[in-house]
Amino acid sequence: MLSQSRVRRFRSLPPSRSKNSLVNQHDDASPLLDHGWPELLQILLDSFQNRLGRELVPRSGRLHEDAKRVYKAPFVVVSHNNAADPVLTFGNLTALQLWEMTADTFRQTPSRMTAEPMHRDERARLLERTTRDGYVDDYRGIRISSTGRRFQIEEAIVWNLHDKAGEYVGQAATFDHWTFLES
């Protein structure tokens, strides 16, 4: 859903380079239950609505149905925890395909590894700005997949995640526009 007034622009994802297609491997949304993601996605959706005053996806009021909508959304949704060196905690199907990772690999990846070393200072500044302001909605930057494929993201929204008790538990991001870059 992202923005009602904005035209959605997507770039086609490349076919998986692995023997097992990530699309086929994850299309049934089974990682949602395998990793306890519905509860995390409740925090993600609530925090988005609280920070931005709108919904990330239409909500049904049923946790697993809402989680499935986020997982299968045609735009990227990712999150990381609040560790000193944050580790990715969620990537929807579009994110897993874009970063060319399985859900298990994704959840073990420090989020800094999604950016090339030369772009990590810029990424750190973004996260500091998000922590300070609660969210940003104008981020653009270069990221890298697990196989080294580089892509430019634009108009990303990054927001802080808070649980029901108000405790800071991490950050999340969403974007629907990316362009693959020549190597």
- Residue 6 inside a domain? The answer is no
Q: Residue 32 belongs to what H/E stretch?
A: helix 31-34
Provide the CA 12 distance to its chain's centre, in angstroms.
17
pTM: 0.83
The token pair that represents 74 in the structure block: 């045609």
Q: pLDDT tens digits, residue range 68-126?
A: 999 999 999 999 999 999 999 999 999 999 999 999 999 999 999 998 888 888 888 88
Q: In which domain, by residue range, is 171 found?
A: 24-180
- Residue 13 inside a domain? The answer is no
- Residue 17 inside a domain? The answer is no
> What pLDDT band is residue 33 in, cutting at 50, 70 and 90?
low
- Residue 50 inside a domain? The answer is yes
- Residue 46 inside a domain? The answer is yes
The token pair that represents 41 in the structure block: 């996605």
- Residue 12 inside a domain? The answer is no
Question: 3-class SS at 172?
Answer: strand
Look at residue 88 in the predicted model and tell me its pLDDT: 98
Q: pLDDT tens digits, residue range 124-165?
A: 888 899 999 999 999 999 999 999 999 999 999 999 999 999
Mark out the alpha helices in 63-151 (DSSP H runs).
63-71, 93-98, 103-106, 120-133
- Residue 18 inside a domain? The answer is no
- Residue 48 inside a domain? The answer is yes
Q: What is the CATH number of the domain that holds 154?
A: 3.30.450.20
Q: Residue 85 belongs to what H/E stretch?
A: none
Number of domains comprising the chain: 1
56 burial via Cβ count (<10 Å: 0-12, 13-18, 19+): buried
